[in-house]
Structure 1
C-alpha cells in the first residue's frame, strides 16, 4: 500500500469505531527513543525514516510533526499531498492539540494506542485537548490492524555484560535500588518499563533493537522479590541460573500485567508516568497507593560510577583510533571523485572491527556532504548517497557500542577548498563547542541554563541551531539518555530535563552546529563527563571533562576570530589527542596525526 491507501484503510476503521481523529506516535510500550521495526507505526504510515515524529489523521486531513533536526528530511520522504508537515522547533507552527481542536468537536472521539501511549501522555492529551466531553479511545491499535506485513519482535538471545564492564553486580544494583525506594515507605515496590533501565539493572543486553543492545522486557521489584518479564526462549540456562542466584525470577513478557494486578493491598507502587504505558497503569489495583516521579533506575545509571567512567574513557580512545583512520582514508581518496557518503559509514565499521572491544554501531551513520550536511540527521543509504567531491565540507556523526561504553562524536572536515563563509561557520561552531568544554558552573545548575549560556556565542552573531547543545549518553545503552539534557526548549523524550541538576558522573555530548539549507552544514561533537571543580566561599562548582580526542579541522579555523584563551585550549587539546592516540597508531598514521594536531 502507498501512503494514500494506508490513510484510506485507517479512515474506514475510524468510521467503524466512530473516531473523528487518530493519533499515531513513534514509540513502543517502553517509550524507547529508537524503536525496533515492529513498533515503527508512524514511519510505516508516512514513509518518514527519522526517529522522532507523530501524526494526526482525520477523515479529511492528516498532519505530521517532527523537530528541527528532521523537518527537511520529512519534506523529502513523505509523499506530497498526504500530510501537512510541521516543525515543533518553529514557534509559529500550530501544535498538534491546536490542530485537533479546530477539527474535533464536543462529544467526539480521538483514537490512540493504549499499549504504547504512556500514562503521562494520556494525561497531557486530556489537559491540552480542551474539547468538551472528548472521548479518548485507547483499546484499539488501528495502525496494527491495517499493517498486515508488520515485522515480528526479535527472538535473538539475551547476553550478559562481563563483570569488568558491568562494574557493579546485579545484587549490588538491586540492593541500591531497594534502599532508594525506602524513602517512599518500607513496603514500596517499583514498576520499571524502560528497556535501558532494565538492561543496566540486570547487567543483561540483547539484540531486539538494531541500534541499542536491548531486549523487550518489564521489571517489577518489590521489597522481597524481583520479577523480570521477558521472552523465556531468549535466555540460556546459564543466565537463568545466575538470575535466580541474584534474586531475580523470570516471567513471560505478557505476565507483567497479571503481576501488577496481584500486588497486595497496602502496597505502595512507585513508577515513572512518562515511561509507563496506559494499559499497564490502568491494571494497578485500587487498593495500591501509586507514587510517581523520575524512575529511580534512570537516576542511578545517569551518574556513571568511577569504574564506568574509566571504561568510557577507554571506549572513546578505541573509537577515536578508528575515526582517525577513517579521516586519513577520506583525505587519501577524496581526489578520486569516487567516494560517496554511504561508503564513509561502511569504511568506519571496518576500522572499528580492529578493536576486540567493539560490539556494533549505535546509530545509522549521519554522513552529509555539501548541502546534505545542513540536514542535522541526514542518513545516506546505499541507493541514495551523494558523491563526495574534492571541495567544501563533509560532516559525519557516528556512534558505537564497545564493551566498555558507548561513544558519540561528530567531525566536519574539509575535503577541498573552503569559502570564507564555511570557515566563519566552522569557527563559530568551534567557539561554542569550546565554551561548553571550558565552562564551570555552580552546583544545582540545569541543562537549559547551560544551553543558553553557550548558545550566546551563536546568538551574538544572530545565528542559532534547532537542537540542544548536549544530550545524555548511556553506558552501553541509549545514545540519547535522560534524565538530563543541555537544551533550552522542552524535549518530549526528556520530560525532566529542565529540573534535573547536572551531577558528577553524568555523560553528555557537546555538539553545536550551523546549518544552511541548500549550502552546507557544520557540527562538532565531543563527549564530556560532569566533574567537580572546586568549592569556595561562593559555593560548589562543577566542570566538564572532555573524553573524546580527535583533531579539529585546522583548515577551517579562522584563528584571528578566536580569543587567546580559546587558541590555548585547542592547542592543549590537540597535544592531548596526539599523546593519547599515537601509541595505538602506526608510523604513517602518527605522522598524519602530528600534522593535524600542530599548534594553531
Structure 2
C-alpha cells in the first residue's frame, strides 16, 4: 500500500515569483484589482487534492489552513499559529507579506485595500458566512468584492494544473458502519421533515461518505469521495459523482432509491428545486449554492448539515471498530516507541527519519489505508511549535538532553487514530519532568472526569488546564477535537476548547484529549489519546447519571518524564491502571524485545 503525498512536500519559495505575474495578468483581463485565494476548495475541505490546492500553487504554502490576497502591487499570505515556521520556510517574503490568519486576519488586511478597488472571488470557494465578513472589510476601505467566473487563478494555472482526482468510490460495508445506508437515508429524511424541509443539498464529502456508506480516495489523508448529493425527505436521493469514480459494485450497492448522476447534471438539478424548501448548511456549503438556489426560486432553509450530528455519535459497531483499530495501532506505536528508546537514543536521527520510522511501523500492520494526517515530529525547539511539520532547512536531529514530540495517526477500515507522545532523549532534567507531569495531571483530569447530560466541551476544558494554570502556565490550542470513523481526523460539531461551543457531548462521540506545554526555543510537550463518551450511568450515592470517557488509545507514557511525587495517589493509580490495560491489550500483538520493553514500561510506578 503506497500512501499519497502532497505535491509540494519541500520548500520552494520561488512559487510566488513564478505564479503571481500570471495571476495578475488574468486579473487585469477581467478588470480586477485583486483576488481572494482561500485554502478551502469547492467542498470546504481541510485536506485537499492536488488539483484544488490553489493556495499552495500560488504561494508554496502547504498548510491545512490559510489564505492569500493578491492586489496589483502587493500580496499577502495568511497562516495560523500552527504553521509559523512552515509558512516562512515555504513562502517568498519578497513576494508576499506573511500575516496571521487568527483574529481578523484577512479582513483586517482587506480593510487597507485601495478605495475603488474591485476584488474578485470564486463563489464556489467561500462560505456565505466568510464572505459576509470579507465584504464588510472591503467596504470599509471603499473597495468592492465581486464574484467572478472563471477563476483567474485557475486560468493562470492552465494545463499545468493536475487533473481532478478520480479515485474509485467503493462500498463501506455494514460490518464497519453498523447501519445500512437505506436506514440512514430514511432517518435523515425524517429529520428533514421534522424541520419543515423537503430536500437537503449535501456538499460535505464526509457527509456523503457517511450517508451512502461509501469511501473514496480523492482527499489526501481522508478516505473521501468528492461529489454532491440531493436527499429527499422520503429517503430517495441523487448522488453526483464523476463517472470515472463509479466502480462496478457501486450501483448495486446504492440500489434503486439512489440515482447516480454526473457532476454536469447538478446545475439543472438545483434549478429544478423551484418552490421547494431546501435545507443547506451555510458553514459547509459555498456561496455558489445559495446564489444558485436563490436564482432558481427555492425556499432556502439555512441549517446545520443533517448528517453532522448522527455522524459524530458513533454506534456500537463503530465504537468496537475504533477499539480494534487502536489496539492494532497501539502495537505499531509500541514498536516505534521501543525504537525511539533504544536505536534512536544512540543514532539521534533527523525528524524526517523519525517520521519515516513511525509510518513504516504503521504500514507494517498490513491494514493501514493511509495516514490520518501528515506526521508531526518535533525535536528540541521544533517541538515547541504545536503543529510543526519537518520541512526544508528547519529539520533538526534528536538531541541528547532534549525532548522529542511525535503526533501521528492512521486510517484503518474500522477506525481512525490520532496519538501524541513526548519522549526524553537521554536523561531528562528536573524541569522537563515537572512540566511533563503537570501536562499529565491535566490529561488525567480529562480522562477521568464525570459530567452530567447536556455538558458541552468548553464547560470542561478548564479541567485539563487547571494544573498548568495553578503554575501560571497555559497552552494556546484546544484540548480536544472530534474524530471520525474511517473518515476525517478532525470532525465536528463536538470539541473541547476555551471557545464557547453549544453542542453537548453525547454518547458515542470520539474526542481527543491533548493538553500540552510549549517552551519557545527549547522543547514542547503534548500527551494525546482518543476517548469515547460513554452512556450516562449512576454513581453510587449520586443523584444524577453521569457521562464518562472510555480510553481508546493505548501507548505507554515515558516513565522517565513522570515525577511521581507530583501525582496524587488517585493520579498514580490511574497511570498504573492505564499501563496495565495497555500491556493487556497491546502485549498479545508483540513478542521478543519489544514485548519485554513494553512490560517494563507498563510496570507500576
Give the shorter-chain TM-score range: over 0.9
Q: Are residue 498 (structure 1) and residue 501 (structure 2) matched?
A: yes
Residue 286 (structure 1) shift: 4.7
Q: Residue 577 of structure 1 aligns with which residue?
A: 582
Instruction: Give the equivalent residue in structure 2 for 1:517.
Output: 520
The 1:425–1:63 alpha-carbon spacing in structure 2 relative to 1, beyond 3 Å, is farther
**1:197-596 mapped onto 2 (5 Å cutoff):** 197-224=207-234, 225-245=236-256, 247-265=257-275, 267-284=276-293, 285-337=295-347, 339-380=349-390, 385-489=395-499, 498-534=501-537, 539-596=544-601
Q: Would you say the 8 A contact 1:534–1:542 is kept in 2? A: yes
> Residue 216 of structure 1: CA displacement?
1.1
Q: Deviation at 1:351?
A: 2.5
TM-superposed CA distance for 1:480, in Å, is: 0.5
Shift of residue 164 of structure 1?
0.9
Question: Which residue is equivalent to 1:46?
Answer: 59
**Alpha-carbon offset, residue 88 of structure 1:** 4.2
> Which SS does the other structure have where 1:296 is aligned?
coil
Deviation at 1:379, TM superposition (A): 2.2
Give distance in 2, aligned partners of 1:295 and 1:119: 15
Looking at structure 1, the residues matched to 266 and 466 of structure 2 have their Cα atoms a distance apart, in angstroms, of: 48
CA distance in structure 1 between the aligned counterparts of 2:336 and 2:264, rounded to whole angstroms:
45
Deviation at 1:165, TM superposition (A): 0.8
Report the RMSD for the aligned CA atoms in angstroms.
2.2
Query: Corresponding residue for 2:176?
Result: 165
Shift in Å, 1:198: 0.5
Are 1:400 and 1:408, in contact at CA under 8 Å, matched by a contact in 2?
A: yes
- C-alpha contact 1:337 1:387 (8 A) present in aligned 2: no
Structure 1 residue 14 corresponds to structure 2 residue 19: no
Range moving further from structure 2, 373-382 or 42-51 = 373-382
Conserved 8 A contact 2:348-2:397: yes
Say which is worse superposed, 451-460 or 468-477, in terms of deviation.
Answer: 451-460
Q: Hey, what's the Cα distance between the residues in 2 that align with 1:159 and 1:410? A: 31
Structure 1: which 5+ residue stretches go unaligned?
Answer: 490-496
Q: Equivalents in 2 of 1:221, 1:406: separation in Å?
A: 27
Once the two structures are superposed, residues 213-266 of structure 1 have per-residue CA deviations (whole angstroms, 9 ceiling, x without a partner) of: 111110101134301101112112222122134x2111012322221111243x
Match of 1:151 in 2: 162
Deviations 1:52-101 (A, max 9, x none): 11122223332222222112322232222332323345x6xx63212211
The answer on whether the counterparts of 2:67 and 2:78 sit within 8 Å (CA) in structure 1 is: yes
Q: Are 1:69 and 1:466, in contact at CA under 8 Å, matched by a contact in 2?
A: no
Number of aligned pairs? 586
Number of the residue aligned with 1:138: 147
In structure 2, the partner of 1:492 is none
Unaligned runs of 5+ in 2: 1-13
Post-superposition shift, 1:514? 1.4
Distance (Å, rounded) in 2 between the aligned partners of 1:539 and 1:11: 63
Over 3 Å counting, the alpha-carbon distance change for 1:170 and 1:533 in structure 2 is closer
Task: Using the TM superposition, give the Cα deviation of residue 308 of structure 1 relative to its aligned residue in structure 2, in angstroms.
Answer: 0.7
* CA distance in structure 2 between the aligned counterparts of 1:383 and 1:165, rounded to whole angstroms: 42
Q: Which deviates the most, 352-361 or 213-222? A: 352-361
* Partners of 1:69 and 1:467 within 8 A in 2: no
Separation of aligned partners in 1, 2:287 and 2:179: 32
1:354 deviation in Å?
Answer: 4.1
User: Retained in 2: the 8 A contact 1:342–1:382?
Assistant: no
1:77 aligns to what?
90
Higher alpha-carbon deviation: 569-578 or 445-454? 445-454
CA distance 1:189–1:207, change in 2 (3 Å): same
CA deviations on 1:485-535 (whole Å, 9 max, x unpaired) are 21224xxxxxxx712111111111111111223211111100011123435
- Secondary structure in 1 aligned to 2:501? helix
